[in-house]
Amino acid sequence: MRFDAEDAQHELDAIGKGLSGHISIGIVPTAAQFVLPSVARQLLAEAPDVTLRTVVGLTATLMPLLQHGEIEMMVGTESSAETGYVSRLLAEDAIVVAASADHELFRGKPTLKDLAAYRWALQPPGAPTRDWLDHTFDRKRLPRPRVQVESTMLLMLPALIAQTGLLSFISRRHLGERAAKSGLKEVPIREATMRRRLVVTYRDKGYLSPAASRLLELFSRVRDSA
């Protein structure tokens, strides 16, 4: 009932204002770095009076904010569907093992078993990518990665592992064209490649301002241009 009343008031306030006002979104770190900048640039070019507040975090942290109306939409990793919410696919993402380009692993053809001999920089247990990697080693009856640096800040890991002998587990988006500048290289092990989907989620039948609706459209175009 509170949401319905607030939505009605927001809709009345938005009449005649067009693309203006304030938008609050939650977004996971990878999408914040690789998806949000171009989308925000397009939105602000069309609507220079719009203000945008972003909360960066993992999906498990952001979903309660969406449920309590503290953010209007969330860009996160796909999970099981929840009643009352709609999710649109934005992009596919691959999480891969990475190391500095001059790491000794690249002298041969490394296997998953070979990775157990090295130390890692990873997110804490409970993070989806960390749990997936741990369970991958469990299934092969191999010791879990030996973590020397543990960080909740994914965005600091590429610079960290480029200057150490540590391995990490990060989005392939950190590599590719950026690899030459970052000094990183993917360790090509198929069974240690995690595939996930990035989605934008919002309340079904909830009110979105014209500016928020336009932002949602721009996010949806990410898939079409991928």
Domain shared by 188 and 213, yes or no: no
CATH code of the domain containing 134: 3.40.190.290
Question: What ranges in 68-142 are assigned the alpha helix state H?
Answer: 112-115, 128-139
Domain shared by 133 and 207, yes or no: no
Domain shared by 67 and 154, yes or no: no
Domain shared by 98 and 108, yes or no: yes
What distance in Å separates the CA atoms of residue 65 and residue 69, rounded to the nearest whole number?
A: 6
Domain shared by 158 and 140, yes or no: yes
Per-residue pLDDT band at 21 (split at 50, 70, 90): confident
Domain shared by 219 and 159, yes or no: no
Mean pLDDT value across residues 47-61: 90
Question: For residue 90, what are its two tokens?
Answer: 């934005």
Q: Would you state the pLDDT for residue 10?
A: 47
Domain shared by 62 and 144, yes or no: no
CATH code of the domain containing 86: 3.40.190.10
Q: Would you state the pLDDT for residue 14?
A: 45
Per-residue pLDDT band at 111 (split at 50, 70, 90): very high
Domain shared by 147 and 204, yes or no: no
Question: What ranges in the chain are assigned the alpha helix state H?
Answer: 2-14, 29-34, 36-46, 59-67, 112-115, 128-139, 157-162, 179-182, 210-225
Domain shared by 120 and 209, yes or no: no
Tokens 């696919």: give the residue. 89
Domain shared by 132 and 166, yes or no: yes
Domain shared by 22 and 100, yes or no: no
If one counts the domains in the chain, the total is 2
Q: 108: exposed, middle or buried (C-beta count within 10 Å: 0-12, 13-18, 19+)?
A: exposed
Quick one: what percent of the chain has pLDDT higher than 90?
55
Structural domain harbouring 11 = 2-91+197-225
pLDDT digits (tens, 9 = 90+) for 175-226: 866 555 668 899 999 999 999 999 999 998 888 888 888 999 998 887 655 4
